[in-house]
Amino acid sequence: MATGEQVSAKPLQGVAATAVQHSSNGTVAKAPAAPKRELAWGEAVMPGGRISIAKEIKPLPQTVPFTPVQLSRLDEALTLSTRTTGLEFSVYLGNLGTDTRATAEQLHASLGAAATHSVLIAVSPGQRVLEIVTGEEAYRRLPDRGCKLATMGMVASFKESDLIGGLVGGLRMLTDQVGAAPKN
C-alpha cells in the first residue's frame, strides 16, 4: 500500500475495522482488530482496539472476629465457668457507646431474671474498654478485687493482640475467684 492510498473503513464480515495510520516514512501501522461482538455492561472498545472491561467490586461479607476453633475455646470456657461456679457467664464484644459502664449495665440487665446470678464481660476493642458487670448474687461470690485481677490479666493479653486468649484466661481467673458452686 502506497502513501496517500485510501483505506476502506467498512468492516469485513465478522471482523471489526482496524485503525490505519500512515507514518512519515511511508509504512502503515495497524492496530489489532477486536472481535466484533455485542459489548456487555461495563465494556468499551479503546482507540487502539483493545476492549476495556470495568468490574464491580463488591464488599466482603461481614465476618466474625474469631475462627471456629477460637469460638469453640470460648464456648468451652464459658460452659466450664458456668458449670463450676453455678453463675451464668456471658461475653459481649462490640461498641459500648460513649458511656461504656451504663451500656454494659444495660446489657447485663437485658439478661432478665438470670441477671442476679450472672457475670458479664463486655469488651470494646475499638474503644480499648473492658467492663465486668456482676449481678447481686454474683457480687456476693465475686468481689471487686477478683474482677480487678481478671481485668489485669485480660488487658495484658489484649495488648499482645490475643483477644481470645484474654477472654478465656479472664474467664478462668474469674472462675477461680468464685470457686465451686455451693451445695444445696
Q: Looking at residue 107, which CATH number applies to its domain?
A: 3.10.310.50
pLDDT tens sequence for the chain (184 residues): 444 444 444 443 444 444 445 555 655 555 555 556 788 888 888 888 788 888 777 877 777 788 889 999 999 999 999 999 999 999 999 999 999 999 999 999 999 999 999 999 999 998 999 999 999 999 999 989 999 999 999 999 999 999 999 999 999 999 999 988 877 6
**Together in a domain, 25 and 88:** no
Specify if 94 maps to a domain. yes
Task: Kindly tell me the burial class for residue 116, based on how many C-beta atoms sit within 10 Å of its own C-beta (0-12, 13-18, 19 or more).
Answer: middle
In the three-class reduction of DSSP (H, G, I as helix; E, B as strand; rest coil), residue 104 is classed as helix
Q: Is 147 helix (H, G, I), strand (E, B) or coil?
A: helix
Domain assignment present for 183:
no
CA distance 14 to 77: 68
Q: Is the dihedral of CA 129, 156, 136, 183 positive or negative?
A: positive
Query: Is the residue at 128 inside a domain?
Result: yes
Judge if 133 and 163 occupy the same domain. yes
Rounded CA-CA distance 15/28 in Å is 19
Q: Does residue 41 lie in a domain region?
A: yes
